[in-house]
Structure 1
């Protein structure tokens, strides 16, 4: 239960739901126990009146006795009916408080988990599968809700009913009560040993379900690759194997439960047999009446449902504990990137790297080694280098997606770590290398970075990104719905929509991480011309592979294996006749070959 202590704060928050709920549980069970006593009195009445009726059989008073007998039975029957109606009414109130409370807690938990996920750094998402994250925020939370709702409700209900029933039993006859309750310790021992098995099986089921969710999510995201390589049957076999693992674990849990429930029913049945046998002896001895046996049988039957539910509740608690353990694993993680500064300073765009070293924490790959350079306000800076040279890492460090290992990064003379992160990022237009578009309209994708935006601003951003004419050719224009990850659009169109999303913010700093790779040369030139107007007196950082894209930059930084090997403008780098000049000559040869 230690993992479920996390939920105590929610119980305190909704204490005015729990307290009335417990009150309704007590009252409903009170009206559930009284009918047993009424039935006992009615049974005694029946036996006594049958004897009296036989004595007066054939006399005139027999009719009067029969009428009294009928009226008494009707009275007791109506009383039992009214008591059970009252019990049903308070059971309804009980569910309306405790079950509704569980839905509120479920809502709060999902919001808390989602909010916490957003605080965690990129490294967290690199280490964990999306399917597993989704499963913890949905399936695991749902299992916890079954604990805070039905499990707690039935546990309280069972505890209160046991107390009332046992008290009623002992008040009638101690000997008979002890014999009736004799199987209960055996039941407690069975629950104790079975709990461990249920907990183990529950954890295995949740882990396998997460693997299954991750597999499905990944395969559906890469469905085009699967179809291109005709690997549908292969992935189907893997899915069947993963499903078999989940099935085996689930069947293991079902087998434990299948043995658990009949055992409990057997013990309850044994209590009934003991009640009749020992009760009969007590009646012969004159210690109790026959009505008391009927009363005890009702008590035992009243305990049957809670006892059988006890196994189900135990399963719910164990599965909730396993799920809460998985939820707590991530909720206890602290974000690597934190920002305590609340000042909202205006970003100018002066950026300085001083002897920066960085190694990715999840892979151990050193991406940057002793990197030092400076970007002045209003400069157009280009970064170029071979694949894996550290270009995207620089962009991520400027955005402070990661913190550096050593060295120093300053922005406008202030340490990057000391800035108000939300305010800083809000003034940056960032276009990542891996373009991501949401399953929403084109308009909403472009306007994603702003709370309020006009249609004119969206159109202007689309024109500056050279994607306006493509959009207006669609039937629904800017209201066109995009498929998952923008699958409706071509690669170049997705890149340009992503660029429009950055430009509509009118950022003080613009970072393009190789986002023009799928754009043709003419469109690229148009975008760059528009950028020169929009970003006048503002800082721009462009990461690219094509030298034609960056040759007009104020400064070009050439990276190789995480180090800066050259920097300067286009002409200066050509005169150095180094790596940049070699790349330039190679690209000229490629263009000549393509033209031939």
Structure 2
């Protein structure tokens, strides 16, 4: 239950609905609890109709009426005052029972409209809270946690918590109100009979405690298995083209079947426990009913403790009224235990502090000026791979820099550290003389455009994907201008719906080159001070590449541009070319100076020139 304490803030937020819901539950049960007393009075009246009324019968009836609720006493007083026949009194009582059922049902309707609706509001708030926290978590977190698990916690786990704040809370309060009212009037009517009737309850309490422990343990395991199952399905859907191209449908199905089988076994085990549990509750209630009739009948026959046929009927109705609440003890406890297990999983992520976040000393302002990497070293925490080692680099404002190197040389790491996706192990990174750790993340990432090598497009229109970084309404002219600079406008215009074309999940309906160019347009539309291209032209042909490079040279006239690649752009005049190898700079200079140096850059340049000559 301690894990569910974080939900209390939502109960406070919706305290008006919550308190009204409690009131409606109490009122609903109050009017329902009057029915057994009116029914008992009706049976006693019928008994008098069969027998000749005697003074002894009248005295017993008066004692019983004195134990009734105040409203029932007033009702009996009114109908007795009018001196109606017993038959008429029975008919009037039947009408009153019908009205009590209507009133109780009306308050039950209001009860659900407050408590259940409140639970939907809490579900909405909690999902938003989790999603907001997910977006604040750093890149390292997402490298160590699967998407399926993240999805399961924000969907299935939140749904189980909603069952606690809605139905479980409602049934628990209803249970307390029903049991409270029933026990009060049962003891008030005949405490001897009540003690016998309630004797099975200690067995019930022990059973509930024991079974709930089992349910809680199984619920935690089931939720973990469901996350694994969701992850397996999500990865299969995302990688369906790879699965089909390698003809691995059968093996992936077997992998999913194995996970599904584990989940099924544990879910069936939990269902088996509940299947035994609930009939046991019904059995104990049935024993209580049997005791009521047997012992009550004995008292009636021997005329003990003022027990009448009406008393037995009252107790039978009380016991039947207790049937659902007592049976629901297990159901409610099961929902609470499942919710606790789910909330524990949710709390694990909610209590995870992002490693990258703004600290109190951040300095608001614009991102511009010289960029300096000063003795920077960085090792990826999840793999232990050392990406940079005592790295030093200076880029003046407005310079165009080419970062060149083989795969794994640390090129992309430079971009990610500059965007403060990670903190360096050693050294400092400054922009305009300000450490990137002292720049607000929103400012840093708003004013630096980054085109990653792993292109991601949303399942939306092309226009919305390009305008993703824009604030406010979409300016279609700016969208088209950005697309022209990225050399993708003409291809978009050939689509049937042009810029309103839906690109599908992750841009699956587009070619690799089209996706890359749309992602470039998305970066250009921001009009940033600094723009970083991380190997984002690998999927375009040479002609399109030259066209894009020409446009970029014009676009980057007064901006700082960093192009990360493993190829040489001979048509783009860079102010500085930096060659990396194993996280350190091995060559640095201009195109001409590096050719004279006759190192890796010169060798790569000769290879590319030779390839172009062969293609020509």
Whether TM exceeds 0.5 here: the answer is yes
Kindly indicate whether residue 475 of structure 2 is the aligned counterpart of residue 454 of structure 1.
Answer: yes
Q: CA deviation at 1:525?
A: 1.3
Gaps of 5+ in 1: 55-66
SS, match of residue 421 in structure 2 = coil
Q: Check whether the contact 1:382–1:550 (CA below 8 A) recurs between aligned residues.
A: no
| Match 1:564 to one of 585, 589, 595 | 585
Q: In 1, distance between residues paired with 2:342 and 2:570? A: 51
Q: CA deviation at 1:587?
A: 3.4
Give the corresponding residue for 2:448.
Answer: 428
Q: In 1, distance between residues paired with 2:599 and 2:395? A: 22
Kindly indicate whether residue 464 of structure 2 is the aligned counterpart of residue 444 of structure 1.
Answer: yes
Give the corresponding residue for 1:337.
Answer: 356
Q: CA deviation at 1:556?
A: 1.1
Question: What TM-score, normalized by structure 2, do the two folds share?
Answer: 0.92
Q: CA deviation at 1:594?
A: 4.7
* CA offsets 1:207-261 (integer angstroms, 9 cap, x no match): 1111111111111111111111121222122212211111111101100000100
Change (3 A) 1:539 1:498: same
* CA offsets 1:450-496 (integer angstroms, 9 cap, x no match): 02332111111110000011100111100101111001110000000
SS, match of residue 382 in structure 2 = coil
Give the corresponding residue for 1:382.
Answer: 402
Give the corresponding residue for 1:57.
Answer: none
Number of equivalences: 584
Give the corresponding residue for 1:577.
Answer: 598
* CA offsets 1:62-98 (integer angstroms, 9 cap, x no match): xxxxx92331221111111111111001111111111
Give the corresponding residue for 2:20.
Answer: 20
Q: In 1, distance between residues paired with 2:3 and 2:585? A: 49
Q: In 2, distance between residues paired with 1:286 and 1:374? A: 99
SS, match of residue 324 in structure 1 = helix
SS, match of residue 378 in structure 1 = coil
| Match 1:354 to one of 343, 364, 374 | 374
Give the corresponding residue for 1:3.
Answer: 3
Kindly indicate whether residue 47 of structure 2 is the aligned counterpart of residue 47 of structure 1.
Answer: yes
Give the corresponding residue for 1:231.
Answer: 248
Q: In 1, distance between residues paired with 2:153 and 2:434? A: 39
Q: CA deviation at 1:22?
A: 0.7
Q: In 2, distance between residues paired with 1:285 and 1:537? A: 103
Q: In 2, distance between residues paired with 1:229 and 1:408? A: 45
Q: In 1, distance between residues paired with 2:549 and 2:530? A: 15
Change (3 A) 1:286 1:352: closer
SS, match of residue 378 in structure 2 = strand
SS, match of residue 553 in structure 1 = coil
Give the corresponding residue for 1:97.
Answer: 114
Give the corresponding residue for 2:426.
Answer: 406
SS, match of residue 516 in structure 1 = coil
- Relative to structure 2, which stretch is displaced further, 190-199 or 563-572? 563-572
| Match 1:313 to one of 314, 322, 332 | 332
* CA offsets 1:156-187 (integer angstroms, 9 cap, x no match): 00011111100111101111111111111111
Write out aligned runs for 1:155-174 (5 A): 155-174=172-191
Kindly indicate whether residue 94 of structure 2 is the aligned counterpart of residue 81 of structure 1.
Answer: no
Q: CA deviation at 1:393?
A: 0.7
Kindly indicate whether residue 158 of structure 2 is the aligned counterpart of residue 141 of structure 1.
Answer: yes
Q: In 1, distance between residues paired with 2:606 and 2:214? A: 69
Q: CA deviation at 1:100?
A: 0.7
Q: In 1, distance between residues paired with 2:230 and 2:483? A: 37
Q: In 2, distance between residues paired with 1:455 and 1:463? A: 12
Kindly indicate whether residue 507 of structure 2 is the aligned counterpart of residue 486 of structure 1.
Answer: yes
Kindly indicate whether residue 217 of structure 2 is the aligned counterpart of residue 217 of structure 1.
Answer: no
SS, match of residue 347 in structure 1 = coil
SS, match of residue 334 in structure 1 = coil
Q: In 1, distance between residues paired with 2:474 and 2:20? A: 48
Q: Check whether the contact 1:466–1:527 (CA below 8 A) recurs between aligned residues.
A: yes
Q: CA deviation at 1:549?
A: 5.5
Give the corresponding residue for 1:262.
Answer: 279
SS, match of residue 138 in structure 1 = helix
Q: In 2, distance between residues paired with 1:443 and 1:428? A: 21
| Match 1:465 to one of 481, 486, 489 | 486
Q: In 1, distance between residues paired with 2:552 and 2:610? A: 28
- Relative to structure 2, which stretch is displaced further, 157-166 or 225-234? 225-234
Q: In 2, distance between residues paired with 1:121 and 1:589? A: 44
SS, match of residue 285 in structure 1 = coil
SS, match of residue 362 in structure 1 = coil
Q: In 2, distance between residues paired with 1:105 and 1:555? A: 55
Q: In 2, distance between residues paired with 1:349 and 1:237? A: 56
SS, match of residue 22 in structure 1 = helix
Q: Check whether the contact 1:550–1:556 (CA below 8 A) recurs between aligned residues.
A: no
Q: Check whether the contact 1:551–1:570 (CA below 8 A) recurs between aligned residues.
A: no
Q: Check whether the contact 2:549–2:571 (CA below 8 A) recurs between aligned residues.
A: no
Q: Check whether the contact 2:549–2:572 (CA below 8 A) recurs between aligned residues.
A: no
Q: Check whether the contact 2:546–2:571 (CA below 8 A) recurs between aligned residues.
A: no
Q: Check whether the contact 2:362–2:438 (CA below 8 A) recurs between aligned residues.
A: no
* CA offsets 1:361-410 (integer angstroms, 9 cap, x no match): 12221111110010000000111111111111111011111111110111
Q: In 2, distance between residues paired with 1:213 and 1:270? A: 45
| Match 1:196 to one of 190, 205, 213 | 213
Kindly indicate whether residue 541 of structure 2 is the aligned counterpart of residue 520 of structure 1.
Answer: yes
Change (3 A) 1:304 1:375: same
Q: CA deviation at 1:43?
A: 1.0
| Match 1:69 to one of 78, 81, 86 | 86
Q: Check whether the contact 1:524–1:549 (CA below 8 A) recurs between aligned residues.
A: no
Q: Check whether the contact 2:376–2:427 (CA below 8 A) recurs between aligned residues.
A: yes
SS, match of residue 506 in structure 1 = coil
Question: What TM-score, normalized by structure 1, do the two folds share?
Answer: 0.96
Q: In 2, distance between residues paired with 1:328 and 1:116? A: 11
Q: In 1, distance between residues paired with 2:362 and 2:404? A: 35
Q: CA deviation at 1:593?
A: 4.8
Kindly indicate whether residue 437 of structure 2 is the aligned counterpart of residue 417 of structure 1.
Answer: yes
* CA offsets 1:35-61 (integer angstroms, 9 cap, x no match): 11111111111111111399xxxxxxx
SS, match of residue 536 in structure 2 = coil
Q: In 1, distance between residues paired with 2:396 and 2:34? A: 85
Give the corresponding residue for 2:66.
Answer: none
For the aligned residues, what is the CA RMSD? 1.6
